[in-house]
Amino acid sequence: MEAQALDNVVDTDILVIGGGIGGHTFAITAKEKVPALKVTVVEKARAGKTGPSALVGGRYDGFLPERDDFDLYFRSRVEEADYLCDQEKIEDNLRWAGDVFRSLERWGAKFARTGEGDYQRPLSRGITRGMLLENGGVPLMNALNNYAGSIGVQFLNRIMVTDLLSNEEGVVGAVGFGVRDGDFYVFRSKVTVLATGMTRFKTIQPGHRNDTGDGYAMAYRAGAEVAGFDSTHHNTYGARMEFGPGNNLYVGLGAFFLNAKGERFMHKYHPELAERADFVWLAPSFCIERMEHRAPPIYLDMRHFTPDKIETLWKAVPYAMMKYERAGVLKNNTFVELIEYTPEGPRPMPSGVLTNRNYESRNLPGLFAIGDVTSQKGSGGLSAAAISGVIAGAFAAERASGNSRVRIDGKQVEAHKQACLAPLKRDDGMEPDHIILALQEAIHPYYVGIIRHERRLTKALEEVEQIRDSLVPLLHAYDFHYLMSANEVRSMVLCAEMFLRSALERKESRLGCLREDYRELDNVNWLRYIHLKRDNGKMKVWSEEVPVEKYKLKPKREKCLHPFWKR
């Protein structure tokens, strides 16, 4: 089928799917490198206004080469990942960090400074320091969005991309639909990049409801190799009210957690950092307090914060502070109540498409994945997304400028169209919200995602397979908004299956994922990545050795009781 026979065909040199910080830095870099290229960013909400980039907790985890210790930052990131990372990408990340930071400022981003003119760099989790964003992530993303538009990047908002298009040469575009008008779109591109973030399965984390694993799902369905879904991280957030973001800042400024007995407990699990330990330590600590009958509840205590700390929070996370005021938790710039906290559901991280050092897919030419959509990156957050966007954008611009016109398969387009619009064509069926609830009940309990056992993981997988086979085919959409929710459910159910199959494959305890039936941290047998790929309609799972022998830092090849179980 020729393109002229299709409705709403958008021809572009570079297609960017996702409008967060990674999507913006990729688009800006590619456009500045080769201005003649047509660069199009497609976002299912509004680019720059949604997801963790706009609603980040006030901190950019940046490395400044002129003042920071490279070896310290490098080692901390490798060790935080328990050596389950690509050390070459971490090196690249740090070597590009200074240039990317200066580019962000050139593009209009503002970072808070002290009275002496230095960057404000408060403590947060871990031993390294980042920069404080001036008024949080919203102004940052507004600046990048405005700059990208000023140099000719095209933005198409309120369009949900659902599937990738490919031919024998690789990925050649994507399809999607308007979430307000239902119009179906075909995007034909020389280079396609996934910048869609991760998934938290519609959990309690504020501002992240749109992160539903769409990029993971479309890459998997297109045949990309993906990895890392066993290493789910769990953050902690307000249990009763949607407070946040800002956890990094809270603990860096001295907030602490109390169990049901009113006791501080994090020093028992991480004596060096206590509350400032990485969140792969935090959520499991909550769970062990629960298992030993000292929780729930668990509370975050900021009642002791001094005026200067309150001022820092207003500067970095004003939207969170306004919520605290409206709820009566913050009065006269003083926290007057404890805030009940709980672990969120699983977030696969670092997971996603297997990519090379330029962030191009290992097995699908023409497909790039950046930020939280790529695996084996060794670090996450705003800075990793921004830097991977710049690295990939520069390489992709050269690739797109040399590619010839691409060809798309009309039959493939039609198949994807029928799949994504199917819920709208059913007269009745299951509403997306009901399936989301069933999915959350299967995978959210702490004894599935955090404190794991083969028996419980297997039971959860059986429940997800039941949802996949019996409920997803009945998805029904009343209108285009429900159609977006239905396609998000389709993505999340697939991601849940990838998470559970990967978790079952890893037979050890590592990072914040604790196996009651395999309590050892096993660097002899399990310093391995868990990989997934679609193979004849089935999910193929296998593992590959982390090539630590070629890396700078090498862990001891030993088995030892995981620190949590050692306690």
Pairing of strands 59-60, 131-132: antiparallel
What is the structure's pLDDT at 349? 81
Q: Does 404 have pLDDT greater than 80?
A: no
What is the structure's pLDDT at 563? 87
What is the structure's pLDDT at 3? 45
Q: For the chain, give the percent of residues with pLDDT over 70.
A: 98
CA distance 324 to 339: 10
Helix, strand, coil distribution of the chain in percent, nearest 5:
40, 20, 40
Pick from 214-228, 273-287, 295-309: least confident? 273-287
What is the structure's pLDDT at 65? 92
Q: Does 4 have pLDDT greater than 50?
A: no
Q: What is the pLDDT of residues 40-75, one digit of tens each?
A: 999 999 999 987 888 888 889 889 999 999 999 999
Average pLDDT over residues 21-25: 97
- Residue 378 pLDDT class (50, 70, 90 cuts): low
CA distance 348 to 498: 9
Average pLDDT over residues 401-423: 91
Name the residue type at position 362.
R
Q: Does 340 have pLDDT greater than 80?
A: yes
> What does residue 328 show for φ and ψ, rounded to 5 degrees?
80, 10
What is the structure's pLDDT at 306? 97
What token pair was written down for 198? 């991760």
> What does residue 163 show for φ and ψ, rounded to 5 degrees?
-150, 150
Q: What angle do CA 513, 517, 518 make, to 5 degrees?
A: 60
CA distance 424 to 421: 6
Instruction: Give DSSP secondary structure letters for 72-127.
Output: HHHHHHHHHTTT-S-HHHHHHHHHHHHHHHHHHHHTT--B-B-TTSPBP----SSS
Helices (H) and strands (E) in the chain, counts: 18, 25
Q: What is the pLDDT of residues 105-141, one digit of tens each?
A: 999 999 999 889 899 998 888 888 889 999 989 999 9
What is the structure's pLDDT at 203? 85
Predicted TM-score (pTM) of the model is: 0.95
Query: Helices 21-33 and 87-106 meet at what angle, rounded to 10?
Result: 80
Cβ proximity of 73 and 64 under 8 Å: no
What is the structure's pLDDT at 379? 67
Q: Does 1 have pLDDT greater than 50?
A: no
What is the structure's pLDDT at 458? 98
**What's the chain's average pLDDT?**
93
What is the structure's pLDDT at 27? 98
Query: Helices 454-466 and 432-443 meet at what angle, rounded to 10?
Result: 170
Question: What stretches of 377-536 show up as alpha helix (H) in DSSP?
Answer: 381-402, 410-425, 432-443, 446-449, 454-466, 480-505
- Which of 482, 554, 512 is CA-nearest to residue 180? 482
C-alpha distance from residue 305 to each of 105, 114, 308 (Å):
31, 19, 8
34: buried, middle or exposed (CB in 10 Å: 19+, 13-18, 0-12)? middle
Q: Does 5 have pLDDT greater than 60?
A: no
CA distance 370 to 309: 34
Pick from 131-145, 365-379, 478-492: least confident? 365-379
Q: Does 279 have pLDDT greater than 60?
A: yes
- Residue 549 pLDDT class (50, 70, 90 cuts): very high
> What does residue 208 show for φ and ψ, rounded to 5 degrees?
-120, 25
What is the structure's pLDDT at 2? 44
Q: What is the pLDDT of residues 414-428, one digit of tens each?
A: 999 999 999 999 999
Return the residue matching tokens 């079952």: 504
Q: What is the pLDDT of residues 81-100, one digit of tens each?
A: 999 999 999 999 999 999 99
- Tell me the sheet residues that pair with 146: none
What is the structure's pLDDT at 377? 65
Average pLDDT over residues 207-211: 81
Q: What is the pLDDT of residues 233-269, one digit of tens each?
A: 888 888 888 777 888 899 999 999 999 999 999 999 9
Q: What is the pLDDT of residues 280-296, one digit of tens each?
A: 889 999 999 999 999 99
What is the structure's pLDDT at 58? 83
What is the structure's pLDDT at 356? 95
Buried b (16+ CB within 10 A) or exposed e, 444-461: bebebbbbbeeebbeebb
Q: What is the DSSP letter of 271?
A: T
What is the structure's pLDDT at 6? 63
Q: Does 206 have pLDDT greater than 80?
A: no
